[in-house]
């Protein structure tokens, strides 16, 4: 039975009431720190003091001293048997319900303790966040959440590289955008390479590999990937995968074997997974600002070089990543010719000489109207091919519903419909040399001005742009803005090509009588025909 007594003390006019616990064993438990336990054990086992003497010296009960001497513990630990929840108690049921619901979800979808705390506040909880955090942590620990064990991996120089994507927020040209960053990591030297794109599509992936192998100076014997939709068409049994045809062409060109991880087993490419977090907080925080994505990629390339030179190898601390990369570079598979990294799809040319790709439209040569062409989409440009001939090439656009014209594609149509020159969409922002612009402004006032100007444009394919510009300059200088004058100047300044002497083949007989231009012989031949 606990006995308590109250002692009333008065000090400087302040009355204090202290409660003194007379149970010496309970007092001793509070006082038993590691140092006290060590002194008791030393006094008994080494100095051979009696239990009574030790209890008297350290003002402890003999039972407490006996318990310390007979036990092997060198410190006392205290665990609260019952956790009091004065403010959280009424909301404990709601809290457990949240945790039970989250238990069936993936780790990414589970709510944080902060989210649960804010939910309880809406229900009337007035306690602190720490109480909720400790409860959530304890509940999840008791629930049996297991930590997965992993097997460390080791690689030989030039054996493998790992690849992954990440999404990062940057500012390009004053606009905040989310770019897709392709990450490469050599498994032996840990050399890293990053390049950013505005899409996460096949042609971007091909271009990223081309840049990475150029950066490293070669490829490895294996490439380790996630089961990306742009790479893996179908997941088969075990490690077997049906890879994309163009991606297989890339792997064949750079002589590496693609290997896809087991689904939901990102640890199989743990190096690049770790790199994604490292690069994000090392390079992309605070938010980067560049004029365009090309400037960003130049900076990322230089930053990867700097990181390799300034960081020790994470496993072998004796040298830097750059020094280990110099050793691995000799073992890389070197390919001198770059892969033609494009994605090819068929497209029908509309009656307005346009083809559609990625929500945008691009012009082609007018003769291909109504036919099917092949669009070769690169990371930075679009090339349209018909029967092996390039009929259109444009800088790639990354918006929506944009129409990109090349006015020269419509020149043949203009020859038949010169009136379209005034209001035709392809010609609204046509950037022509100044002499041609001056000639057009001079001719536009005439009734047949459009036809005359189209006639001047039509001879560019014959004489070349520079020659036509010079002819227009000469005509305008003489005060004569006229198509015929321009054509006259071109014909006078460009002589007919000299005819090369034709050598008679050796198997033909040699002429003994040279043919002569003689009209009488021709008349004689005509008379023979008449008599016949």
Average pLDDT score over residue span 160-176: 95
What pLDDT sits at residue 212? 97
Q: What is the pLDDT of residue 28?
A: 42
Which pairing describes strands 192-197 and 175-186: parallel, antiparallel, or unpaired?
A: antiparallel
Helix/strand/coil for 101: helix
Decide yes or no: CATH 3.40.50.150 for domain 160-329.
no
Beta carbons of 131 and 88 less than 8 angstroms apart: yes
Q: Where along the chain do its domains lie? A: 4-70, 89-135, 160-329, 343-404, 412-491
Q: Please report the pLDDT score of residue 301 as a whole number.
A: 97
Determine the pLDDT at residue 17: 33
Alpha helices in 84-201 (DSSP H): 92-103, 113-122, 129-142
Residue 23 has pLDDT above 50, yes or no: no
More confident position, 493 or 239: 493
* pLDDT above 90 as % of the chain: 59
Q: How confident is the model at residue 498 (pLDDT cuts 50, 70, 90)?
A: low
Stronger pLDDT, 85 or 489, i.e. the higher one: 489
Q: Are 273 and 187 in contact (CB under 8 A)?
A: no
The pLDDT value recorded for residue 107 is 75
- Residues 442-469, mean pLDDT to the nearest whole number: 91
pLDDT score recorded for residue 242: 85
Q: Is the pLDDT of residue 148 over 50?
A: yes
What is the per-residue burial (b if ≥16 Cβ within 10 Å, else e) of 285-305? eeebebeebeebbeebeeebe
pLDDT over threshold 70, residue 117: yes
Query: For 245-292, how does the pLDDT look when each residue is reduced to its tens digit (9 = 90+)?
Result: 999 999 999 999 999 887 766 677 889 999 999 999 999 999 999 999
With a cut of 50, say whether residue 1 has pLDDT above it.
Answer: no
Measured between its terminal Cα atoms, the distance across the chain in Å is 156
Phi-psi region of 379 (alpha: psi -120 to 50; beta: other; left: phi over 0): alpha
In 3D space, the residue among 37, 65, 70 whose CA is nearest the CA of residue 50 turns out to be 65
Q: pLDDT digits over 208-237, tens only?
A: 999 999 999 999 999 999 888 888 877 766
Whether residue 298 has pLDDT greater than 50: yes
Range name among 36-40, 72-76, 352-356 with the lowest pLDDT average: 72-76
Residue 114's nearest CA partner among 91, 83, 145, 137 is 137
Residue range 2-6: mean pLDDT, rounded: 40
Overall average pLDDT of the 290-303 stretch: 96
pLDDT at 218: 95
Mean pLDDT of 304-319: 93
Q: Write down the residue that tokens 């403010």 correspond to.
A: 87
Q: Give tens-digit pLDDT for 392-420.
A: 999 999 989 999 999 999 999 999 999 89
Q: How far apart are CA 174 and CA 88, in angstroms?
A: 48
pLDDT of residue 18: 32
Give the mean pLDDT of 17-22. 36
**Do 197 and 208 form a contact (C-beta atoms < 8 A)?**
yes
Confidence at residue 279, expressed as pLDDT on a 0 to 100 scale: 94
């Amino acid at each position: 039975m606990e006995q308590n007594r109250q002692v009333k003390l008065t000090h400087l006019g302040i009355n204090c009431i202290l409660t003194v616990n007379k149970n010496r064993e309970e007092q001793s438990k509070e006082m038993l720190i590691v140092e006290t336990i060590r002194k008791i054990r030393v006094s008994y086992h080494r100095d051979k003091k009696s239990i009574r003497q030790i209890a008297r010296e350290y003002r402890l009960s003999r039972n407490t001293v006996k318990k310390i001497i007979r036990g092997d513990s060198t410190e006392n630990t205290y665990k609260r048997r019952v956790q009091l929840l004065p403010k959280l108690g009424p909301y404990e049921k709601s809290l457990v319900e949240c945790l039970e619901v989250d238990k069936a979800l993936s780790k990414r979808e589970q709510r944080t303790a902060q989210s649960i705390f804010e939910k309880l506040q809406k229900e009337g909880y007035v306690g602190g966040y720490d109480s909720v955090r400790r409860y959530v942590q304890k509940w999840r620990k008791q629930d049996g959440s297991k930590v997965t064990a992993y097997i460390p991996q080791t690689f030989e120089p030039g054996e493998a590289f790992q690849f992954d994507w990440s999404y990062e927020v940057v500012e390009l040209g004053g606009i905040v955008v989310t770019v897709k960053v392709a990450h490469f990591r050599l498994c032996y030297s840990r050399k890293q390479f990053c390049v950013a794109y505005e899409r996460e599509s096949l042609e971007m992936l091909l271009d990223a590999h081309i840049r990475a192998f150029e950066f490293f100076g070669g490829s490895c014997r294996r490439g380790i990937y996630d089961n990306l939709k742009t790479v893996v068409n179908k997941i088969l049994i075990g490690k077997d995968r049906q890879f994309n045809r163009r991606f297989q062409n890339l792997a064949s060109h750079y002589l590496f074997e693609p290997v896809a991880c087991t689904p939901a087993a990102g640890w199989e490419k743990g190096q690049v997974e770790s790199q994604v977090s490292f690069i994000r907080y090392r390079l992309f925080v605070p938010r980067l600002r560049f004029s365009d994505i090309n400037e960003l990629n130049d900076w990322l390339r230089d930053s990867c070089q700097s990181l390799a030179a300034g960081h020790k190898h994470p496993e072998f601390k004796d040298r830097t990543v750059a020094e280990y990369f110099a050793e691995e570079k000799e073992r890389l598979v070197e390919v001198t010719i770059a892969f033609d990294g494009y994605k090819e799809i068929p497209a029908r040319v509309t009656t307005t000489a346009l083809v559609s790709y990625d929500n945008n439209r691009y012009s082609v040569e007018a003769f291909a109207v109504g036919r099917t062409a092949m669009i070769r989409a690169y990371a930075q440009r679009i090339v349209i091919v018909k029967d092996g001939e390039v009929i259109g090439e444009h800088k790639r656009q990354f918006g929506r519903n944009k129409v990109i014209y090349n006015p020269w594609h419509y020149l043949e149509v203009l020859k038949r419909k010169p009136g379209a020159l005034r209001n035709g969409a392809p010609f609204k922002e046509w950037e022509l040399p100044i002499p041609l612009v001056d000639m057009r402004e001079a001719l536009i006032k005439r009734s047949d001005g459009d036809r005359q100007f189209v006639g001047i444009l039509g001879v560019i394919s014959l004489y070349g742009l520079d020659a036509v510009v010079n002819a227009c300059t000469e005509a305008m200088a003489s005060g004569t803005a006229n198509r015929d004058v321009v054509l006259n100047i071109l014909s006078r300044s460009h002589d007919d090509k000299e005819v090369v002497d034709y050598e008679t083949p050796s198997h033909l007989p040699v002429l003994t009588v040279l043919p002569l231009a003689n009209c009488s012989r021709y008349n004689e031949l005509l008379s023979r025909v008449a008599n016949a």
